[in-house]
Structure 1
């Protein structure tokens, strides 16, 4: 029994393609196609590959092996559609920074979708804060504590903080603390509670160590370290933020006791001032045109 002949004829019949069309699309001569379908010859490896590709069948199946007929590929395994391909094409055309923004926006949309599916997360602010004060995750606890202090001082809470609290409660109650959505939420918490410009402001006021920064913004030292780790991982150990360089190289991110790193300093350099100093130094050295 010529399994190749039988499988080839079956594939041709299932795909609804004529032998002439198969010859045209594969580049294999019509006589050779007829010889294959009549069982006179079997296709060699190169032609076998072309036939399987055009007929969209598994090459091993076409050879007569006991396996699935359908061609196994990423597209069939993951059911990739034309829209999926378009999305991937747009994503790969973006620079790295824009790719990161694209992904984060996707997680935000996912969280919004979960919100619409569930109810009960539009709680009074006090109840919302209280429900998260003892959260297991450090970033969420700091968010709750920070929000509590702000609410106690002003009797109000900005929409950004409220939205983060609602998202945190939703993801925790949905048992999604090990997901990419939750990691994305934590990134937003770091940027909301301790944005990079806060380090510059703290430095201007003489607060340059981990302990000083934590005290100034009523945060735990552990959270400050965790936020710095996020910035170092995502932006690098020296970050150019507007007209300042924020240098985290002196901060040991691996430690046994928080007190060991409490006095570690963050170095802030005003790049505008440095440029002015460099110009003045150049003038003093006499580098000028006659």
Structure 2
């Protein structure tokens, strides 16, 4: 079994990747998507999205970070993939799953799932451009508004030379509304020879087991569940159904997050409140803390309050 930390726009940024790989156990993680249009992006863009490139392509905990691109220009996707590899990316992933309206309106993300030939062209362009030893993968949903091209896209990605495929078990039309249809990954798993990784609605150890059983996949990508319950990967590895970290452990983790220095100009207070709000779904202590800090706007004041609870 492999466990992978999902790419989530506005959520699994470099600071969150540092925190979650520090406390959890992931085989690799994937950056938020880097939008590619008509140029090779300057190095400072890569520094912003993936500062881990300056650390051998790994988080401080030693977890590899794969660089994900989103776009519809095969030449520019290929050129940027080459540049990312030159900068130290250990692997390249292509996004065919983003459901955001703005992204889809500009012909990126999940809307391309209505064009399997284009999906094939984009993956093949990147696969042909980067060195053979660099893995190229893709992440897709079951479809855009329906599932009529599900297998066509999976076969296209395989034929283009991808090393593996991650499937979010919902269409774009489904959004993030439960449930995820894990059983619909099974036909994909049976239709292609490359590895398939299952993704969607894995919030606890039992969900992980059920997803494996219904999808036929050994490997899982964890998204919001890993952010809401930071030790989720450990629980799955250890096959336990209760948190392994104490609240005090998580307080230390929150302080690490607030002291993150990848993005100096980042609104850390807002980002922290977003995370704390998510954790309040899993931890009563987080709900109590949220009530105390929700009106605080000063970063140092929040850190001091956390330090006082240790």
More strand by share: 2
| Greater Rg by CA | 1
**Same fold by TM-score greater than 0.5:** no
TM-score interval (norm. to shorter): under 0.3
